[in-house]
Structure 1
């Protein structure tokens, strides 16, 4: 009986510990959301570099726009590029846009030379395209350093973020979006744009990794962005 009592007590302590960790992870996500929500809108200029095997893609100058709650757009000069669209997002405000979610503590990891907190976020809405998002968080500065998102329709993709000038707003200096071009079936949320109508040799693109690097030159924050900026191509 004594052994059974000790066993039951240990199980109770374990359950309580897991509940506390879940609450702690939820609290961290809410703090992140609060920091991100300080940004109502922004416009930015930057450079978009696409790195996909066997594709020669020039660096493109781009304009980037965001407006609460989830409007996000990248516009660019003529050229060839791979741009995230639809359910795929390189914008952390959109990644944490869901109000109802479950956060699970997943320990720590090392990223960009520092120890980061790992939290797995599951949407409470069964109809959500997102199945799971794993966040790698600089807890002291409330910054998302990386997110790995698995979706129903758009595959799995990574977004790694690097911060500098705009850390106070949790806005990155550089974002690197990566995905697998397996069998040249890009995630549906990723569009390959060719202004000259040229098509790549799909046999050469099988089982390759693709990257889109967005480097920000400047942000204009909370000065208002017209709705018209989000219409059209």
Structure 2
């Protein structure tokens, strides 16, 4: 597990930018996520990301000790990368995510809930994007806090949101809840997986409120269908 030196961005407060999202429901922790969400299969999505049109100026490491081999790739309406998954347990303190469970724990996330609190990693599926740098600027690519991500692993699809930012040179990290839903060990110190995870981030999408996982699934399924049609 790498040492994470997160760069926290300002909380996102923009209004919903994409159509098709369910109205805001109760805020707070989301329920357990299913292993397969929505109607679009993992195989269908993976078939569209077999080749890479590189968007990043360079490539990313998956951990401090690895070489830089992971590009950010572009498709019509999305960006994607294929990497590992390290476990982000930052944000609200819980029994699963705190200084006692995670040696790299930080009590904030780059993007916040609608009530201003940090995200809750053990219940909200979210993905960490590299902080903007000369390698790649996620914001300039149409990716924003609350944006929808299809995370694919072991023939399963999990819809998540962009919830935190990480080191400028490392890629491949998601929340405790994302890992758990995909059958990956979510332990922030010893869990994760070394390879086999595909992250498809849909451009100019936004879930509001960011903590509403049901809305992420609804919008994600719609955007995934559009992605298949347009690529």
Larger strand fraction of residues: 1
Larger helix fraction of residues: 1
TM-score normalised according to structure 2 size: 0.27
Higher relative contact order (CA 8 A, sep 6+): 2
TM-score normalised according to structure 1 size: 0.27
